[in-house]
């Protein structure tokens, strides 16, 4: 496969394709990284995963600072097909490239809204007869995403997104660790939010999810206080 046996063999051609075509653009690098997810750990061992991550992170930072397209945050939408683990690597690389907290928050929020639409917009009458495998998959997706969220100081998330995630975690009976992270982030977001921000969030809540989330949180706090 290498040039040791034949000039221009598969290894050389693959490298040329990666360098001159696939890793020249952000969408191309995302496509290669997505392919790598089914080839782990080999793809990591040969350094291909890190190459993709570096390209994506650098181009995402450049696009956030100097947009080349009219569509806002198009680069963040491109990351939606990736796994939470891949996103985690990209966020770390973006931070090392000097990405601002706003850029990191945009990346996380857009990824969450695009890749977990079903979880973020669960209506109150969402069918509860889903199979165990489906619920387990959705729970795993949610917990994986929450587990890689950057600290609030690195990526302050919008209150409405955290509330949707928290509602989904309650519905899916996510782990205590997942609940704790989301409740802590919600507390931080509420402290930072203005009354107008909170009013806008509650008005854009046709299924009354926010009131139910707060009711559950308050009820849990009271229960813990009585048992103390």
List, for residues 60-98, the tens digit of each pLDDT value: 999 999 999 988 889 999 999 999 999 999 999 999 999
Tokens 């990284």 label which residue?
Answer: 33
Residue range 195-224: mean pLDDT, rounded: 52
Inter-CA distances, 133 with 24, 115, 129, 155, 178, Å: 39, 19, 11, 32, 19
Which pLDDT value is given to residue 52?
Answer: 95
DSSP helix/strand/coil, 77? helix
Which pLDDT value is given to residue 196?
Answer: 47
> Which has more confidence, 158 or 217?
158
Tokens 């802590």 label which residue?
Answer: 184
Percent of the chain topping pLDDT 90: 39
Which pLDDT value is given to residue 173?
Answer: 86
| Residue 19, both tokens | 């360098």
Residues 156, 157, 160, CA angle at the centre, nearest 5°? Answer: 150
pTM, full prediction = 0.76
Which pLDDT value is given to residue 107?
Answer: 93
């Amino acid at each position: 496969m290498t040039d040791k046996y034949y000039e221009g063999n598969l290894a050389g051609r693959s490298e040329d394709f990666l360098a001159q075509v696939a890793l020249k653009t952000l969408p191309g690098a995302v496509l290669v990284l997505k392919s790598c997810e089914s080839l782990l750990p080999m793809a990591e061992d040969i350094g291909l995963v890190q190459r993709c991550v570096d390209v994506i992170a650098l181009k995402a930072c450049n696009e956030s600072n100097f947009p080349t397209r009219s569509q806002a945050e198009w680069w963040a939408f491109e990351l939606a097909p990736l796994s939470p683990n891949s996103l985690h690597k990209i966020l770390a690389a973006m931070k090392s490239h000097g990405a601002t907290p706003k850029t990191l928050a945009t990346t996380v929020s857009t990824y969450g809204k695009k890749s977990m639409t079903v979880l973020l917009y669960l209506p109150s009458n969402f069918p509860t007869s889903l199979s165990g495998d489906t619920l387990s998959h959705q729970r795993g997706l949610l917990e994986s995403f929450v587990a890689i969220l950057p600290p609030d100081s690195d990526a302050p998330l919008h209150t409405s997104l955290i509330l949707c995630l928290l509602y989904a975690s309650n519905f899916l009976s996510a782990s205590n660790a997942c609940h704790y992270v989301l409740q802590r982030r919600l507390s931080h977001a509420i402290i930072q939010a203005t009354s107008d921000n909170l009013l806008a969030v509650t008005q854009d809540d046709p299924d009354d999810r926010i009131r139910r989330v707060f009711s559950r949180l308050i009820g849990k706090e009271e229960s813990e206080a009585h048992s103390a």
